[in-house]
Structure 1
Amino acid sequence: MAVEAEVLNELRRLRTRMPQLTGSLAASADGLVLAQDMPGVEPDGLAALTAAALGIAHRMADTARRGEFCELLMRGAQGYVATYAAGSSAVLTLLADGRANVGRLHLEGRRSGARIADLVAAHLDAQARDQDRRPAFVLDDAVPPSHNRTLGTLPVRLPRQSRPRLRPDPGE
């Protein structure tokens, strides 16, 4: 099962545990959507705004000397937007209506953020292990050497007819 599907399952379980949630989004720290369960909200835009808010929150925590960023809560007239760190490379954003219990929102958000962090970390570890097992470069006979990116630093052998001749051909 891909990490996106596992994260989406966690988002759906979270909305089941807390019916006051109107949407949930897991994104990379740079604003790319990993998984979302947000009917009626444009997830790419919210992921980008989350990344911007995350950057400001990190700077505020650092400037105020409050340690590593953990969470951010915004209350609007129609409800809440809560953002939780999900490890060092992901973030969880939750939308809740105005009737939501903020303590419960934090409890569930922190738990899901930790689960998502574990899922993303396991996925990144698996990718790193796969990279270690791959050869340093792969020759692809179907692709000419000049187009094979893995050979970019190796000398390219020219086809026989285009090599410069060192001595005249006896037939000429």
Structure 2
Amino acid sequence: MDADTVLGTELRGLRQRRPEVAGGVLAGTDGLLISSDLPATDATHLAALAAASFGLGHRVADTVRHGAFQESVVFTARGCVVTYPAGRHALLTLVTGADTDLETLHREAREVAARTGAVFDQQRSAPSSMAALDPHAPLATRTPMATLPGRAPNAPRATSWRRPPI
């Protein structure tokens, strides 16, 4: 089963049990959209914002040494946006209404996140059917980032921030 099918099945089940859930997004920790039942542009933006929120939350949890990051909740005038880690490489973000009981939502959503994240992690670690590309082959398309020079040898290196594990 692929992540899209699992997320669809899991979200339908969650919505049957919790009608205040308006939509959901499964995104990579890099901010790229994996699957969603929201409109495409909203989902793409929400995936990127969820990854940023996850990065900040993970960093805060690490800084204060209060254990692992569990979820991020953003309260709005009309509801909440809640982001949960889903496996090692994904995030589940739910958009809910204002009348949401967060305690029971957290319990159910963490289980959904664990199941969808496990499927995505399994797909990600499965050997690809594509042949390995030659690392020395020329780029098919030149991008602006590919043409930028590397870091200058004498440039100072920032050491105060490190990327959260993914």
Range into which the TM-score falls when normalised by the shorter chain: 0.7 to 0.9
- Corresponding residue for residue 87 of structure 1: 87
Taking the TM superposition and a 5 Å limit, the aligned residue runs for 1:12-161 are 12-38=12-38, 42-125=42-125, 127-128=126-127, 130=128, 150=134, 152=136
Gaps of 5+ in 1: 138-148, 154-172
> 2:25·2:94 contact (CA, 8 Å) conserved in 1?
yes
CA distance in 2, matches of 1:151, 1:108: 43
Which of the two has higher C-alpha Rg?
1
Considering only aligned residues, what root-mean-square deviation do their CA atoms show, in Å? 2.4
**Alignment partners' CA distance in 1, 2:112 and 2:123:** 16
How far the C-alpha of 1:26 sits from its partner, in A, is 0.7
Equivalents in 2 of 1:151, 1:107: separation in Å?
Answer: 44
Say if 1:12 and 1:37, in contact at 8 Å, map to a contact too.
no
Can you give the 5+ residue segments of structure 2 that lack an aligned partner in the other structure? 138-166
Match of residue 143 from structure 2: none
Number of residue pairs aligned between Structure 1 and Structure 2: 137
Query: Structure 1 pair 150/118, CA: closer, same or farther in 2 (3 Å)?
Result: same
1:79 Cα deviation after fit? 0.6
Q: TM-score, normalised by structure 1?
A: 0.70
**Distance in 1 between residues matched to 2:100 and 2:45, nearest whole Å:** 24
State the AA in 2 paired with 1:69. F
The 3 A distance-change label for structure 1 pair 46 and 152 is closer
Deviating 4+ runs (over 6 angstroms): none
Q: 1:152 to 1:88 in 2, by over 3 A?
A: closer
Bigger relative CO (Cα 8 Å, ≥ 6 apart): 2
Contact 2:3 2:116 in 1 (8 A): no
Query: Helix, strand or coil: the match of 1:42?
Result: helix
Verify the 8 A CA contact 1:25 1:43 in the aligned structure 2: yes
| Structure 1 residues 67 and 17: alpha-carbon distance in aligned structure 2, compared to 1, 3 A threshold | same
* TM-score of the two chains, using structure 2 as the length reference: 0.73
The amino acid across from 2:33 in the alignment is: V
**Partner Cα separation in structure 2 for residue 50 and residue 71 of structure 1:** 11
